[in-house]
Amino acid sequence: MSARHWATRLHLATWGVATVIVAGWVLLSWRYGAYVLPSPLAVVRGFADIVASGEIWRHTFASLGRILVGFGGAVVVALLAGLASFLSRTARGVIQDFLSVLNSTSVFVWIVISIIWFGLSNWAPIFTTFMITLPVVASNIVEGVATVDRRLLEMGDVYRLSGRRKFTAIVVPSTLPYLVAGMKVGFGLALKVSVVAEIFGVTSGIGYVMNYSREILATQMVFVWALVMILVMTATDKLVFDAVSRRLDRWR
């Protein structure tokens, strides 16, 4: 293998640019001080601290737990919407109309409403995550169901497959890639949204601890937790979604 090939595989150019950015970061941090911009070294130390103390797991799992409930609920409801849109064309139309309304609603609307409804509790970030990720996942699934090859369904009719068998053998496999794509985007969104909602009223989670760090003037910890978020997102993308996509593509 050529040197050029390895350079591409290791993203050498990206590392080069990153080095320049870190150098600039160090200079700016000297110029403006640790409160505004903590040095890279302080961030690395902070990261080592939360790993050593185990604090990283407490807050990460608190956030992931809420995401699991909110986003998981959204996936379940989205699947039901997909089933309904397979069974009835009218249902599909109604669902699509409601999804476009949900899609154009701001995160902040749901945060405020969820605080009013659920008070300062776990349910506020969970509900917000649910409402924001539902339209993303559901519109993907409904789109997937709508684009099932009609010719394959007709083949199913010719050979008198039951409605249930047409669903499991034809509709589900052709919709799966849409579901996975929707879940991938939805999960990323869930992490971003639930963290914002955690600023209000809960005492654990990445969003809470970032806001708390800001209040106690520990700016380096804000950066540390931002890093944790990036790592969680990258890990789920690479370990979960890419693996699932590869598995789905086996027959291609």
Partner 1 sequence: MAVTLEVAEVGKDFLIPVIDSVSFGVEAGEFVCLLGPNGCGKTTLLRIVGGLEPPTRGRVLLGGEPVSGSDRHTRKVGVVFQEDRLLPWMTLRENVELVLEPLGVDATARRQTADRYLRLAGLGGFEDYHPARVSGGMRQRAAIARALAIEPDLLLMDEPFGALDAQNRRIMQAEVRRIWRETGRTILFVTHAIEEAVAIGTTLIMLSARPARIREMVRNDGSIARGTLIDGLNTMIMEEVERQQGASSTS
Which residues are at the interface with partner 1 (CB under 8 A)?
A: 151-152, 154-155, 157-162, 165, 169-170, 173-174, 250-252
* Distance from C-alpha of 5 to C-alpha of 113, rounded to nearest angstrom: 52
- Which is nearer to partner 1, 107 or 153 (by Cβ)? 153
Please list, in sequence order, all residues whose beta carbon lies within 8 angstroms of the beta carbon of residue 138, skipping any fewer than 6 positions away: 74, 77, 78, 81, 82, 95, 99, 182
Please list, in sequence order, all residues whose beta carbon lies within 8 angstroms of the beta carbon of residue 82, skipping any fewer than 6 positions away: 138, 141, 142, 144, 145, 175, 179
- Which is nearer to partner 1, 4 or 252 (by Cβ)? 252
Please state the closest distance from residue 239 (CB atom) to partner 1, in A: 24
Please state the closest distance from residue 60 (CB atom) to partner 1, in A: 36
- In angstroms, the Cα distances linking 173 to 165, 179, 251 are 12, 10, 11
Question: Which of 130, 109, 112, 124 has the alpha carbon at shortest distance from 198?
Answer: 124
- Which is nearer to partner 1, 172 or 199 (by Cβ)? 172
- Which is nearer to partner 1, 3 or 158 (by Cβ)? 158
- Which is nearer to partner 1, 5 or 250 (by Cβ)? 250
Please state the closest distance from residue 175 (CB atom) to partner 1, in A: 11
Please list, in sequence order, all residues whose beta carbon lies within 8 angstroms of the beta carbon of residue 27, skipping any fewer than 6 positions away: none
Please state the closest distance from residue 240 (CB atom) to partner 1, in A: 21
The phi, psi pair for 57, rounded to 5°, reads: -70, -40
Contact 99, 135 (CB under 8 A): yes
- Which is nearer to partner 1, 152 or 240 (by Cβ)? 152
Please state the closest distance from residue 235 (CB atom) to partner 1, in A: 28
* Distance from C-alpha of 176 to C-alpha of 181, rounded to nearest angstrom: 9
* Distance from C-alpha of 122 to C-alpha of 42, rounded to nearest angstrom: 31
Residue where the block lists tokens 């601290």: 49
- Which is nearer to partner 1, 174 or 204 (by Cβ)? 174
Tokens of 17: 């640019």
Please state the closest distance from residue 176 (CB atom) to partner 1, in A: 9
Please state the closest distance from residue 157 (CB atom) to partner 1, in A: 7
